[in-house]
Amino acid sequence: MIRKLTNSKVVFNAIKSRLTLTDPDEIQAIALLLMESYFSLSLADILLEKEIEVIDFSKIISRLNQHEPVQYVLGEAGFYGRKFNVTPAVLIPRPETEILVHEVLKAKQQTPVILDVGTGSGCIAITLSLEIPQSKIIALDISKEALHVANENAKKHSANIEFLQTDFLKDEVNLSPIDILVSNPPYVRELEKKYMQPNVIDYEPHQALFVPDDDPLVFYRAIAEKAKQKLAPQGDIFVEINQQFGSAVKNLFVNYDFNQVTIIKDLDGKDRVIRASRIQK
């Protein structure tokens, strides 16, 4: 069988020319992801015009032009230096969530029991398991489909995680004391849908994104209530938040008798993570 070869720079430019998205930076980023995923080429490699096999990108381009996220098209997304499988059953890991993981690691607990609420792809739980090898990690999600993806990712990265299907808002969490509760819960209000991009609103799981307009802190309240019972005396809560509700979430934890409640900002200066310590009697 004769292999058809072509020039990497020609392919890269052809992909960009066929994408009908409006943002040139997005087009460039997507084209680079495709070249990396299918040919293991960096931008430097592309500019060297390396010889590569011909691949028909027609179906892929068609899906991308319908605003399907490139991570779902490729079936994987990067997070904290690793690749994780993703499907429309789970949210695509975001760079800002790496800040959440970074803050947990800064706590420098050596052998913590960690509870990850709303694990999705498992990227937070698995990253923490690999970065803190002596940890014990339990990860919860309401979605059976999401837990299937998370289990695949745990096997992919040889991470030992206990996954449980649980409705955190309704079910009792029967666990021994935990040292760290970490969560990137749903926090986008329904009214914010009209401001969101089609690649998010049309493809990512709404159950993992949205909360009622009249009760946007519902998950933080459940976390605070259950953490009061399950968190060890020196335990910590780390949660990602809607930037518009930093003060409100902080006050919620204070009202549930947590002290040293701190708002951590992201690289854009937006409220992104809250750390809350259990109050000492």
- Average pLDDT in the chain: 94
Share of the chain above pLDDT 70, in %: 98
Say which CATH class 91-278 falls into.
Answer: alpha beta
Distance CA 117, CA 219 (A): 10
**Is the pTM here over 0.95, yes or no?**
no
Each residue's pLDDT tens digit, 127-165? 999 999 999 999 999 999 999 999 999 999 999 999 999
Domain positions in the chain: 5-66, 91-278
Q: Give the tens place of pLDDT for each residue, 60-93.
A: 999 999 999 999 999 999 999 999 999 999 999 9
Residue 1 binned pLDDT confidence (cut-offs 50, 70, 90): very low
195-213 pLDDT, tens digit each: 999 999 999 999 999 999 9
User: Would you say residue 218 has pLDDT above 60?
Assistant: yes
Phi, psi of 104 (to 5 degrees): -65, -45
Average pLDDT over residues 212-225: 96
What are the tens digits of pLDDT across the range 3-36?
688 899 999 999 999 999 999 999 999 999 999 9
For residue 205, what are its two tokens?
A: 């799981």
Amino acid (one-letter) located at 96: E
